[in-house]
Structure 1
Amino acid sequence: MNPLLQHDQQLLARIGLAQIKARERARQGRQFRLALRFMAPALLLVTALLLLPVLYNIWLSFTQWQLFEGRDEFAGWENYHQLWSSPYFDDALGNTALWVLASVLFPLTAGLGLALLFRQMPGQEWFKSIIFLPRILAPTAVGVMWYYVYAPQGMLNQMLGQFSSMPVETGWLFEEQLVTPAIILTFVWQSCGLVMVLLLLGLAALPRDPQDAARMDGARPWQVFRHITLPLLAPTLLMVVILSVLAGFTVFDLLWVMGANYPQQRTLSLAVFMYFEAFQKNSWAFAAATAVVIGGVVLAVTWLQTLLQARVDRVIR
């Protein structure tokens, strides 16, 4: 045996390895209790405003609860069976998937393009402020404003009429094939400013040495962006994707204001479906089951994205 290792073992035996471990556990216990005291107000607030309502909602999804009637008979999986057999649920699920894809792809593309454009442009602060301005507006106000923009006699048709010999009176929100792209365009208009700001922060934090070295070696701007800037920007991009996915699953205001009752529920999402069942049909337990499904899907998608982000971080490091 190594003399040094033997000496260490003899020293530990003389001091008392069990006592050292006991002292370490006691120290960690004191630190945990101290941290718990500091976190107690926040933990109580989160429990009261988040955890308990979520658990209560899960319980309601297994009952036949009705507002003001006090009915809370246990119903088992009946609400979930009814949910999966509802024809409107399939439409809502498909439309929500489309919204998630659109909320990730289009704002991310537009925000990245604007971030790269304004990164070194003179007077960029004015342009960034103008593009970010829609983000501070309430989604309901944005929906009402763009509802009149898309009206048959609205601003969009009047602008298109300047390039046509005939008056343009397209009902952008009343035609099945146009209502979803119109609302997606509104969503991109409001959300790309935030994506642009987040990506600008990510670009500002990137080290310049690898990019300068690539330029000195003769790399073109596109090659620098593809092989250096984009991989280094991956953690920020994944964070933006996670936020965009959450926004896509929970989008409600624009859809309800601009397209609640249009042809064949073309704009019906899971959030709109849940609201309609709860506040229009008073099917509160059924709406609770819908909320549980939405939460489960969001948690699963977020978990997968977190695993992907951890893998990307390991590759970068």
Structure 2
Amino acid sequence: MSMNQTSIEADRTLLARIGVDQVAARERRGRRRNFWTAFAFMAPALALVGGLLLYPVAFNIYLSFTDWRKFSGLDTFAGFKNYERLFGQVYFMDAAVNTLIWVVASLIFPVGLGLAMAILLRGIRFEGVFKNLIFLPRVLAPTAVGVIWYYVYAPGGLINHLLSVVSGHPVTIGWLYQSDTVTPAIIATHVWQTVGIVMVLLLLGLSAIPKDPVEAAQMDGAKPWQTYRHVILPMLTPTLVVVSIISVLAGFTAFDLLWVMGAGYSGQRTLSLVVYMYFEAFQKGGWAFGGAIAVVIGALVLLVTWIQAALQAKAERMVR
């Protein structure tokens, strides 16, 4: 090969390399332009999330390590003093136990009754009417529901009146003033209000199940309860997990009904972690101590949500 041919081949290689570099540089500029364009569209949402969610959470965590009480002590670092005080109080254990009761009740009763109603109402005559009636309490504000049921449970309320008619003698039970009835009464009100949304979500999940596996099971001679147990329920598991997450979060954050309906009860049976936090922060002015309670609640919610998300992923893999 002559020197001229070698030079020509080198020039071609160089030009090709320059072309590749130009294409790569153009692609990098395009990626940067796309990134900043996407960032410009996301900036308002990021500002809202940062200003309304991330900053308050970060500030509350900082607040829990200070000695802030009302309008003084925000700049005084207290270390883990608030957490040591929190875990050393008997009220915290009462509130934690009551919150656990609420979480379990919010998981078992609404989900169980909602699933039963979804199965029974699916495909029946006047299905829409029954669904609307059951879902109606969900559109009411929890505070309004608490006030209504506060008078239903009153000594001269509807429940005692019905019991008086059935038993034939006056009944004046103080359902919200006795330690053994106040929590079940409030939980029953919570179930009455939330079972509708659980039923609707499960009905949506049932309607999304393909018909082929169900028809195949019926052709093989499976009875209705066997079809539901071995075919429908396994395929409904992802929806059940989502509904369970919503129900558990509702149990952790229960406040309105407890505050409205349990205000007249002087014991600790209606003291949940959220009510305890509100009482300490806004009634007693211990904002740093209330912030510590909020951090504990947030950590518990994140832990439970992570566990349920792992269960949901496992359930989805089983369905596939």
For normalisation by structure 2, the TM-score amounts to: 0.90
Partner amino acid, structure 1, of 2:42 = M
- Could you list the per-position Cα deviations for residues 106-149 of structure 1 after superposition, in whole angstroms to 9, with x for gaps in the alignment? 00011111111111111111111111110010101100100110
Partner of 2:141: 138
Q: Determine if the alignment matches structure 1 residue 178 to structure 2 residue 191.
A: no
Partner amino acid, structure 2, of 1:68 = F
Partner of 1:34: 37
Partner amino acid, structure 2, of 1:188 = V
Q: Which moved more, 1:68-77 or 1:119-128?
A: 68-77
CA contact (8 A) 2:67 2:73 kept: no
CA distance in 2, matches of 1:305, 1:136: 27
Runs of 5+ consecutive residues of structure 1 not aligned to the other structure: 1-12
Partner of 2:286: 283
Partner amino acid, structure 1, of 2:222 = A
Partner amino acid, structure 2, of 1:166 = H
CA distance in 2, matches of 1:210, 1:29: 49
User: Following superposition of structure 1 onto structure 2, how do residues 51-130 of structure 1 map, counting pairs within 5 Å?
Assistant: 51-69=54-72, 71-130=74-133
Q: Which moved more, 1:284-293 or 1:65-74?
A: 65-74
Q: CA deviation at 1:72?
A: 2.6
User: Taking structure 1 as reference, are residues 159 and 15 closer, same or farther at Cα in structure 2, changes over 3 Å only?
Assistant: farther
CA distance in 1, matches of 2:298, 2:142: 22
User: Following superposition of structure 1 onto structure 2, how do residues 1-317 of structure 1 map, counting pairs within 5 Å?
Assistant: 28-69=31-72, 71-317=74-320
- Could you list the per-position Cα deviations for residues 276-298 of structure 1 after superposition, in whole angstroms to 9, with x for gaps in the alignment? 00111111100000000000110
Partner amino acid, structure 2, of 1:195 = V
CA distance in 2, matches of 1:25, 1:82: 55
Higher-Rg structure is: 2
CA distance in 2, matches of 1:246, 1:18: 54
Q: Which moved more, 1:28-37 or 1:223-232?
A: 28-37
User: Taking structure 1 as reference, are residues 213 and 281 closer, same or farther at Cα in structure 2, changes over 3 Å only?
Assistant: same
CA distance in 1, matches of 2:167, 2:277: 42
Partner of 2:12: none
State the identity %: 60
Q: CA deviation at 1:260?
A: 2.9
CA distance in 1, matches of 2:263, 2:251: 17
Q: Secondary structure at the residue paired with 1:162?
A: helix
Q: How many pairs are equivalent?
A: 305
User: Taking structure 1 as reference, are residues 233 and 68 closer, same or farther at Cα in structure 2, changes over 3 Å only?
Assistant: same
Partner amino acid, structure 2, of 1:115 = A
Partner amino acid, structure 1, of 2:153 = Y
User: Taking structure 1 as reference, are residues 314 and 14 closer, same or farther at Cα in structure 2, changes over 3 Å only?
Assistant: farther
CA contact (8 A) 1:173 1:182 kept: yes
Q: CA deviation at 1:270?
A: 0.2
CA contact (8 A) 1:66 1:72 kept: no
RMSD: 2.0
For normalisation by structure 1, the TM-score amounts to: 0.91
